[in-house]
Amino acid sequence: MGFWNVVLDGAFVVMQALTGLIGVYQVVLSVFGLIHRKKPLQFQPHKRFAVLVAAHNESQVISPLLENLKRLDYPKSLYDVYVIADNCTDNTAEIARQHGVIAAERKTEKDRGKGYAIRWMLERLKESETAYDAVVMFDADNLVGTNFLRVMNEWLLKGKKVIQGYLDIKNPYDSWVTISMAISYWYTNRMWQLARYNLGLSCALGGTGLCIDMPLLQRLGWEATGLTEDVEFGAKCVSHGIYPVWAHDAKVYDEKPISLIASMRQRLRWMQGHFNCAQQYMFPLLAASFAERSLAKLDAAIYLFQPMRFLILFFTGFMLLFQVSNPTPNALSQVTELLPTWFWAAVNIFILVQMPLGMLLDRIHWKGYLGLPLFPFFMVTWFPVTLTALFTRHNRVWKHTTHTRAISFDDLRIR
């Protein structure tokens, strides 16, 4: 073998070892997502919330959310809704006022994007005469389970500082793209988020359905102004020893793009922000995990390394395909095939079985299972998205995702 052949073979062995370890790690942890015991609420409503709704030209979809928020199972005197009309050129702010909520209009030529809008609003809350115990964040296209604030109140009274609600999709059956995104969310909610909660690890923040203790927010500040403010703030929390918890029974429903192009554009922004956060926080978290012997910080560092829930499926599938297509042993295969074919087959089968299993455990409607045959094709689209994000990771220009599905909460419940 030549020098470069040896280098390439060595790189392939390292990739196999790393991918194999990550695959086994996720498989083992996901087992703990099979168990969920719904606990009755112990505490009466006590905490006061500032509910922030970030909005940029959302006149088509914001009314159902504002109607939804009026009907939460929580005393109206204990929460206020603020719509952050961020550089809107439509009547989003006017619609907010018509629904009896507070419209905070922001106009600026610089520092555009959701993260900056939230920081601007938090600065104004400091000047408010009302003292809030916590902040809850939603997007304008969301719908919210009526028990949401009751569950957040419960966790806050138990001493938790950062809580992430269950992320669902309000339009899963609009196209093969939306049902594929929904399957990704259902799998992640059960086998990633719930599993880590059951093990006492940090959950990943999702950008909406997020509750943060106000004193903590004032202490840490809100500097999460990148393309993925959720990942950024979550990494900051973990680095300070604060582990966000998962509220499996508090649901928030998000709208997803119907077309593949729009979906890839949205996911590109997520991946660009993810790479930026990884550059800033991954190695410090990794170092801290060994210094403090903290599995939670190690897990957070692994999460920042790549969006694992997609990377695992892609690379383990590639390893299985490579080894099945090269069944004849030779000197090269003995070097490159660090792990046997049955290992990759077992990991792939286990992960694929988890998807319908997680859906079954969370009682997903039967229509959801119709998307499973097309899901592998959707997963392939993550490869060009991630590769493009790697080379454009320094981009910090926020690109708005247009929302159009004005679904009411009653329509959602009927579905």
Residues 140 and 189 sit within 8 Å (Cβ to Cβ) = no
- The CATH code of domain 1-415 reads 3.90.550.10
**Across the chain, what does the average pLDDT equal?**
86
For residue 104, give both structure tokens. Answer: 């905070």
Instruction: State the DSSP H helix or E strand holding residue 12, giving kind and residue range, or none if neither.
Output: helix 3-30
DSSP 38-75: PPPP-S-S---EEEEEEESS-TTTHHHHHHHHHT-SS-
What are the residues facing 83 on neighbouring strands?
Answer: 53, 103
Alpha-carbon distance of 383 to 314, in angstroms, equals 8
pLDDT score for 227: 64
pLDDT digits (tens, 9 = 90+) for 125-183: 988 888 999 999 999 999 999 999 999 999 999 999 999 999 999 999 999 999 999 99
- High-pLDDT (> 90) share of the chain, %: 55
> What's the average model confidence in pLDDT over 346-368?
88
The residue type of 224 is: A
Mean pLDDT value of segment 360-373: 94
User: DSSP of 309-330, one letter per residue?
Assistant: HHHHHHHHHHHHHHHHT--S--
- CA angle 80/81/86 to nearest 5° reads 140
Residue with tokens 């909460």: 409
Q: What band does 328 get if pLDDT is binned at 50, 70 and 90?
A: low
Instruction: Give the list of residues 6+ apart from residue 154 with CB closer than 8 angstroms, or none.
Output: 41, 42, 43
Instruction: Judge residue 403's burial from the number of C-beta atoms within 10 Å of its C-beta, 0-12 exposed, 13-18 middle, 19 or more buried.
Output: buried
Q: For residue range 214-270, list pLDDT tens digits in order.
A: 999 999 988 866 667 888 898 999 999 999 999 999 999 999 999 999 999 999 988
Q: Measuring CA to CA, which residue among 347, 345, 357, 267 is closest to residue 307? A: 267
pLDDT at residue 321 is higher than 70: no
User: What is the domain partition of the chain in residue ranges?
Assistant: 1-415
Inter-CA distances, 293 with 196, 237, 238, 280, 286, Å:
17, 17, 14, 21, 10
